[in-house]
């Protein structure tokens, strides 16, 4: 499983755009990039997933450059309720080994009023 590196923490203010960059230099050809959000004392929640270029859903956008060695999660116009830990995961689903996810330490995002 590819190792990921992301900032430990980030502060922002309500209404601003938050961009969290994740490095994954040894990403494999079949690897996808997935982001999860976790609030205190709750299970993580899937936010977005992508393979290359740009993916957008109602919650966030994911930007992946051509070399795929990094990715950026963009949260538009954050609110106080977006304060959480955000995890970047890289991996593939292998029939033999299964869908094993490796969660690093994540990025703690604090949104201030």
At 68, phi and psi to the nearest 5? 60, 15
Based on the shown chain and the rule CB under 8 A, indicate whether residue 91 belongs to the binding site for another protein. Answer: yes
Nearer to another protein, 16 or 49 (CB): 49
Q: Rounded to whole angstroms, how far apart are CA atoms 42 and 59?
A: 19
User: Residues of 69-85 as b/e, b for ≥16 C-beta within 10 angstroms?
Assistant: ebbebbbeebeeebbbb
Which of 25, 26, 30, 79 forms a contact with another protein (CB under 8 A)? 30
Q: Stretches 15-23, 35-43, 65-73, 76-84: which one binds another protein (CB under 8 A)? A: 35-43
Degrees (nearest 5) of the Cα angle 43, 33, 74? 80
Select the span of 15-23, 54-62, 69-77, 97-105 touching another protein (CB under 8 A). 97-105
52 binding another protein? (CB under 8 A): no
Size (the chain), residues: 113
Q: Does 106 bind another protein (CB under 8 A)?
A: yes
Positions in the binding site for another protein (CB under 8 A): 30-32, 34, 41-46, 49, 51, 87, 89, 91-95, 98-106
């Amino acid at each position: 499983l590819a190792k990921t590196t992301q900032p430990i923490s980030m502060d922002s203010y309500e209404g601003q755009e938050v961009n969290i960059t994740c490095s994954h230099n040894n990403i494999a050809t079949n690897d996808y990039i997935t982001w999860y959000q976790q609030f205190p004392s709750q299970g993580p929640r899937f936010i977005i997933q992508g393979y290359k270029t740009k993916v957008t859903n109602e919650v966030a956008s994911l930007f992946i450059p051509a070399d795929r060695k990094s990715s950026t999660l963009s949260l538009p116009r954050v609110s106080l309720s977006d304060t959480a830990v955000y995890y970047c995961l890289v991996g593939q689903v292998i029939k033999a080994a299964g869908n094993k996810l490796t969660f690093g330490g994540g990025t703690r995002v604090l949104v201030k009023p």
